[in-house]
């Protein structure tokens, strides 16, 4: 047995091997140690190997799903080795000692789940493959629970942002690729050959050319190859639901890197869960599929006005018609998750219940179609979404006729095909029904014949049907001519058989077996029909999800008086009475003990002549909140939703950056300042005139002089070189002097006042620099003891006196040439160009690649 185990383990590689033994999956050696620790189950041992006992642990097959879920969550991957023949077959094959043959039937990994119990309903589950090809990166991402597949290509420096956007739960990359993301699982390089990818895609979709799906570049195809090869490996040759791939251009979406995503808490709050996130504050979807679509929209806001407008028009339409919106949402509430049911069916893991869900979902979709179809003046996006909601009439009719009202999840017991669908099946059921009644009649007959009132006819898995009497009555039945044959003696009872019982039982068994086979055949037929319609069903699911998102956005907007943003090309950001959706909701929540405090709305007005706002004011004054609310408003708008403001006019943003200066936090390690600077460097390298940047106390993670100097230089560079829209919150008073030299920079502060010796934070953003920092007042508010505060006041007095006498730490900065830093940056820029040219192998380029490269260089030089 160990030899068989070790061979399978070798095949399983670094996955834990679940080795089926009877009713258990057993794990051995290191797998057992690891799994027992993760699952907190007993580690035992069995036999020995090389003289040492073999560590072992096991989980029951019937509850394996729960254990699998925990292992996957803990980052494990699992290979399932099943028995692929029965013990009888093994004996026939190899004699009485023969070992039952086992094989790995499936790998269970985070990115390839389809089971309802293992997936989160409101979250997509993405598997991605990434690879490099001639200096570019290819990315392939799919959600096999619904079949979506996207391919894209990006430059190496854009990979981080693209991966952050995808948020994959599992990632594969070529082995031996030095720049592969650390979390990626290594796969053979030849899987990532572009010709291989093209061939695999064609085979998966049964087409001779991919032209009908779009134009795909070599890096995209290479990544697709890696993804499909991995799916093939994990599914042991059976591919899951895959819809035609969609080519995505990176500039279709607003770029946001991982640091920006984390600091804006878009999909996850600080604690790591949904709570406290933008998504949680916005999500009013009533279906899991809608919630997944919304999360995707927020993770990848659009960068194309036309598409944003199309979504906004639909939200507006639903916003203006609360009755229709209510009706649609009520209808959606009853929708099963047809996308995921379809995913399971195509992956070969579907159940009768999944078929039932498809039936119900498609019928509801048809109702939504009928509600919307006849309406006049529909927005363009809706015109496109309505047709896919219908067109499944034949399939739903068939499913409705074939299936019972609520089909079971387990298909081995049958009972899911409706009466009246198949006359032969009905007859078989009648036969077994009659036989069951006959058995009940037999019981009554035997009772009266023997006079034993306690006589029972019972059934179990081992004996089948049998007659049971208490031991004290057994003698009568033991008599040779009694007509009963003895089968088993138990502690208090004896069991018998009889000819008539045997006949009826055989009838049940035979009819039952035939009935099961008939149901199974119908199941396969129905599955075949669904698989044939998979693309259209997936389109229906996608249209429903998009409608749910739009109705949810409209609902959210109506709930709190949000407005439709105006999206323009000019680089402006004009927001009247903007609010932070998460902070506002937190303040309003009664449970936070602040008694429904009101959020103070604030305006923001950036434009070509006033691009950079420096915002000062006391800690806790509302600076971070103001910065983020503006970034979130941009994000929500470009995701195609309404925004928490009275009015918003937003110049399309190509890249959004958010940076928060690291506080001196020893727990987070010495490198936090380094991280802060690396992230800041990325902004200086990447922000364009169409970008929007928020900087919160950048420079805070180091000494005053260094921090101020860096903040000063970063502000200048943003003002002079990047020329993007930027909000910079800082407590460095000294930066206000920048206003003297930078014409498009203006000073603002969050207002506070001292009233009767107490600090009052007004959370209002006002024009002009902060007059003082209120640090001591904030300390008092925080409960710092009186004595310490008095001493601090004394020290502050001295420092301020010193500053007045010497001109302070910025004395002399006035003479510093402003453009020095900018000029240097330019030099570096040109140098990277030169490096790229020097690194070129011209002979290795095809004429077309050479031309493409030339265009690219020209474009980059113009940046
Ligand atoms: P800062 O960045 O200036 O230190 P924060 O933005 O972190 O300040 O705000 C501190 C707290 O003040 C927030 O947690 C919130 O409770 C409250 N706050 C901030 N802005 C507002 C506002 N506009 N209206 C009401 N309360 C606010």
DSSP string, 594-642: S-SPPPPPEEEEEBTTB-EEEEE--TTSSHHHHHHHHHHHHHHHHTT--
Tell me what pLDDT residue 711 has.
Answer: 87
Determine the distance separating the centroid of ligand 1 and the alpha carbon of 624, expressed in angstroms.
7
* Residue among 595, 763, 774, 775 to mutate when testing ligand 1 (max atoms within 8 A of CB): 763
| CB of 586 sitting under 6 A from ligand 1 | no
Q: What is the rounded CA–CA span in Å between residue 471 and residue 486? A: 12
Determine the distance separating the centroid of ligand 1 and the alpha carbon of 619, expressed in angstroms.
9
Which among 436, 434, 435, 415 is positioned nearest to 425, based on CA atoms? Answer: 415
Determine the distance separating the centroid of ligand 1 and the alpha carbon of 782, expressed in angstroms.
15
Which among 364, 422, 352 is positioned nearest to 392, based on CA atoms? Answer: 364
Which residue has the least CA distance to atom 6 on ligand 1? 622
Residue the block writes with tokens 């019981």: 443
Distance of CA 654 to the CA centre of its chain: 24
Low-confidence ranges of the chain (pLDDT < 50): 664-668, 818-823, 825
Pull the structure tokens for residue 133.
Answer: 């090809």
| CB of 184 sitting under 6 A from ligand 1 | no
Pull the structure tokens for residue 161.
Answer: 């942002």
Q: What is the rounded CA–CA span in Å between residue 369 and residue 385? A: 9
Which residue has the least CA distance to atom 11 on ligand 1? 620
Residue 476: phi and psi, rounded to 5, are -60, -35
* Residue among 263, 620, 630, 749 to mutate when testing ligand 1 (max atoms within 8 A of CB): 620
- Contact by Cβ (8 Å): 584, 599: yes
- Give start and end residues of each alpha helix (H) in 151-287: 159-166, 194-205, 218-234, 258-264, 278-282
Identify the DSSP state of 101: P
Q: Which atom of ligand 1 is nearest to the CA of 625?
A: 6
Tell me what pLDDT residue 534 has.
Answer: 94
| CB of 620 sitting under 6 A from ligand 1 | yes
Determine the distance separating the centroid of ligand 1 and the alpha carbon of 622, expressed in angstroms.
3
Pull the structure tokens for residue 265.
Answer: 């808490």
* Residue among 594, 603, 625 to mutate when testing ligand 1 (max atoms within 8 A of CB): 625
| CB of 542 sitting under 6 A from ligand 1 | no
Q: What is the rounded CA–CA span in Å between residue 421 and residue 444? A: 34
| CB of 599 sitting under 6 A from ligand 1 | yes
Tell me what pLDDT residue 332 has.
Answer: 96
Q: E strands along 643-781, which residues?
A: 647-651, 656-660, 692-696, 725-729, 745-755, 758-767
Strand partners for 657: 693
Measured between alpha carbons, how far apart are the two ends of the chain, in Å? Answer: 65
| CB of 629 sitting under 6 A from ligand 1 | no
| CB of 621 sitting under 6 A from ligand 1 | yes
- Contact by Cβ (8 Å): 662, 676: yes
| CB of 623 sitting under 6 A from ligand 1 | yes
Determine the distance separating the centroid of ligand 1 and the alpha carbon of 732, expressed in angstroms.
19
Strand partners for 496: 467, 486
Q: What is the rounded CA–CA span in Å between residue 202 and residue 459? A: 54
Pull the structure tokens for residue 857.
Answer: 């260089």
- Contact by Cβ (8 Å): 125, 145: yes
Determine the distance separating the centroid of ligand 1 and the alpha carbon of 613, expressed in angstroms.
18
Which among 644, 649, 641, 646 is positioned nearest to 319, based on CA atoms? Answer: 641
Determine the distance separating the centroid of ligand 1 and the alpha carbon of 615, expressed in angstroms.
13
Q: What is the rounded CA–CA span in Å between residue 123 and residue 267? A: 10
- Contact by Cβ (8 Å): 41, 57: yes
Determine the distance separating the centroid of ligand 1 and the alpha carbon of 781, expressed in angstroms.
15
- Contact by Cβ (8 Å): 701, 661: yes
Q: Counting every residue, how long is the chain?
A: 863
Q: How large is the greatest C-alpha to C-alpha distance in the chain, in angstroms?
A: 125
Tell me what pLDDT residue 822 has.
Answer: 44
| CB of 600 sitting under 6 A from ligand 1 | yes
Q: Which atom of ligand 1 is nearest to the CA of 586?
A: 16
Q: For the sheet with 692-696, list strands across it.
A: 656-660, 692-696, 725-729, 612-616, 745-755, 758-767
| CB of 585 sitting under 6 A from ligand 1 | no
For the chain, how are helix, strand and coil distributed in percent, rounded to 5?
A: 50, 20, 30
Which residue has the least CA distance to atom 5 on ligand 1? 622
Determine the distance separating the centroid of ligand 1 and the alpha carbon of 83, expressed in angstroms.
61
Identify the DSSP state of 40: T
Which residue has the least CA distance to atom 17 on ligand 1? 622
Tell me what pLDDT residue 846 has.
Answer: 82
Strand partners for 752: 761
| CB of 276 sitting under 6 A from ligand 1 | no
| CB of 625 sitting under 6 A from ligand 1 | yes
Pull the structure tokens for residue 811.
Answer: 């004395």
Tell me what pLDDT residue 644 has.
Answer: 98
Q: What is the rounded CA–CA span in Å between residue 127 and residue 223? A: 12
Tell me what pLDDT residue 802 has.
Answer: 75
Which residue has the least CA distance to atom 23 on ligand 1? 600
- Contact by Cβ (8 Å): 399, 355: yes
Determine the distance separating the centroid of ligand 1 and the alpha carbon of 530, expressed in angstroms.
53
Q: What is the rounded CA–CA span in Å between residue 774 and residue 781? A: 10
| CB of 439 sitting under 6 A from ligand 1 | no
Residue 475, SS3?
helix
699: region left, alpha or beta (phi > 0 left; psi from -120 to 50 alpha)? left
Identify the DSSP state of 110: G
Residue 730: phi and psi, rounded to 5, are -150, 150
| CB of 628 sitting under 6 A from ligand 1 | no
Tell me what pLDDT residue 861 has.
Answer: 77
| CB of 622 sitting under 6 A from ligand 1 | yes
| CB of 630 sitting under 6 A from ligand 1 | no
Going by their DSSP bridges, the two strands 602-606 and 573-578 should be labelled as antiparallel
* Residue among 264, 575, 582, 583 to mutate when testing ligand 1 (max atoms within 8 A of CB): 583
For residue 263, give Cα distances in angstroms to 211, 258, 602. Answer: 40, 9, 21
């Amino acid at each position: 047995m160990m030899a068989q185990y070790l061979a399978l383990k070798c095949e399983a590689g670094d996955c834990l091997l679940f080795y089926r033994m009877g009713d258990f999956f057993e794990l051995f050696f290191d797998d057992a140690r690891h799994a027992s620790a993760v699952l907190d189950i007993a580690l035992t041992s069995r036999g020995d190997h090389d003289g040492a006992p073999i560590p072992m642990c096991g989980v029951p097959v019937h509850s394996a799903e729960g254990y699998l879920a925990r292992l996957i969550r803990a980052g494990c991957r699992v290979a399932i080795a099943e028995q692929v023949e029965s013990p009888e077959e093994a004996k026939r094959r190899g004699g009485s000692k023969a070992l039952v043959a086992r094989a790995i039937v499936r790998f269970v990994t985070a990115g390839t789940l389809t089971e309802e119990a293992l997936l989160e309903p409101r979250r997509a589950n993405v598997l991605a493959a990434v690879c490099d090809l001639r200096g570019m990166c290819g990315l392939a991402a799919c959600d096999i629970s619904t079949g979506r597949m996207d391919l894209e290509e990006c430059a190496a420096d854009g990979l981080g942002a693209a991966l952050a956007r995808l948020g994959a739960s599992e990632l594969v990359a070529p082995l031996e690729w030095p720049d592969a993301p650390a979390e990626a699982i290594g796969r053979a390089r030849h899987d990532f050959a572009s010709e291989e990818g093209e061939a695999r895609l064609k085979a998966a979709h049964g087409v001779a050319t991919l032209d009908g799906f779009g134009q795909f570049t070599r890096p995209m195809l290479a990544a697709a190859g890696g993804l499909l090869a991995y799916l093939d490996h994990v599914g042991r040759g059976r591919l899951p639901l895959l819809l035609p791939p969609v080519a995505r251009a990176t500039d279709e979406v607003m770029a946001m890197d991982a640091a920006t995503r984390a600091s804006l808490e878009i999909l996850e709050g600080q604690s790591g869960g949904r709570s406290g996130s933008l998504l949680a504050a916005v999500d009013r979807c009533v279906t899991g599929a809608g919630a997944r679509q919304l999360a995707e929209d927020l993770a990848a806001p659009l960068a194309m006005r036309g598409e944003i407008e199309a979504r906004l028009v639909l939200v507006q339409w639903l916003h203006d018609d609360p009755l229709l919106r209510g009706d649609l949402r009520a209808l959606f509430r009853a929708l099963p998750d047809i996308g995921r049911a379809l995913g399971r069916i195509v992956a070969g893991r579907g159940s009768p219940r999944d078929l039932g869900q498809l039936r119900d979902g498609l019928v509801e979709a048809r109702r939504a179609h009928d509600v919307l179809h006849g309406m006049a003046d529909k927005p363009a996006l809706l015109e496109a979404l309505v047709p896919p909601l219908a067109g499944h009439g034949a399939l739903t009719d068939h499913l409705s006729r074939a299936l019972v009202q609520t089909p079971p999840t387990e298909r081995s017991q049958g009972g899911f095909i409706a009466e009246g669908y198949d006359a032969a099946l009905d007859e078989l059921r009648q036969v077994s029904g009659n036989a069951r009644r006959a058995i009940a009649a037999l019981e009554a007959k035997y009772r009266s014949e023997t006079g034993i009132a306690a006589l029972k006819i019972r059934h179990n898995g081992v004996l089948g049907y049998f007659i049971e009497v208490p031991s004290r009555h057994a003698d009568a039945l033991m008599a040779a001519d009694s007509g009963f044959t003895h089968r088993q003696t138990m502690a208090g009872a004896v069991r018998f058989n009889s000819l008539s019982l045997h006949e009826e039982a055989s009838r049940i068994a035979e009819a039952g077996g035939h009935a099961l086979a008939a149901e199974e055949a119908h199941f396969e037929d129905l599955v075949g029909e669904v698989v044939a319609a998979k693309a259209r069903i997936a389109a229906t699911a996608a249209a429903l999800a998009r409608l749910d998102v739009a109705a949810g956005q409209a609902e959210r907007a109506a709930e709190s008086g949000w407005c439709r943003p105006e999206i323009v090309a000019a680089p402006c950001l004009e927001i009247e009475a903007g609010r932070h959706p998460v902070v506002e909701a937190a303040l309003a929540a009664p449970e936070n003990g602040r008694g429904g405090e009101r959020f103070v709305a604030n305006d923001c007005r950036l434009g070509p002549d006033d691009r950079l706002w420096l915002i000062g004011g006391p800690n806790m004054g509302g600076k971070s909140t103001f910065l983020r609310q503006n970034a979130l408003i941009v994000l929500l708008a470009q995701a195609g939703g309404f925004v928490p403001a009275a009015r918003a006019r937003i110049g399309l943003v190509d890249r959004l950056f958010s940076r928060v200066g690291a506080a001196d936090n020893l727990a987070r390690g010495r490198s936090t300042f380094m991280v802060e600077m690396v992230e800041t460097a990325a902004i200086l390298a990447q922000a364009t005139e169409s970008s929007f940047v928020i900087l919160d106390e950048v420079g805070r993670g180091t000494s005053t002089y260094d921090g101020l100097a860096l903040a000063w230089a970063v502000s200048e560079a943003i003002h002079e070189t990047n020329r993007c829209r930027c909000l910079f919150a800082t407590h460095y008073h000294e930066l206000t002097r920048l206003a003297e030299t930078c014409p498009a920079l203006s000073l603002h502060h969050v207002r506070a006042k001292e009233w009767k010796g107490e600090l009052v934070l007004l959370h209002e953003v006002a024009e002009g620099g902060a007059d003082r920092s209120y640090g001591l007042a904030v300390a008092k508010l925080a409960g710092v003891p009186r004595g310490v505060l008095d001493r601090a006041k004394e020290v502050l007095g001295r420092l301020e006196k010193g500053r007045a006498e010497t001109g302070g730490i910025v004395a002399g900065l006035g003479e510093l040439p402003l453009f020095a830093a900018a000029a240097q940056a330019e030099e570096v820029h040109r140098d990277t160009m030169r490096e790229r040219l020097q690194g070129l192998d011209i002979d290795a380029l095809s004429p077309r690649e050479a031309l493409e490269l030339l265009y690219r260089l020209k474009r980059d030089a113009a940046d």
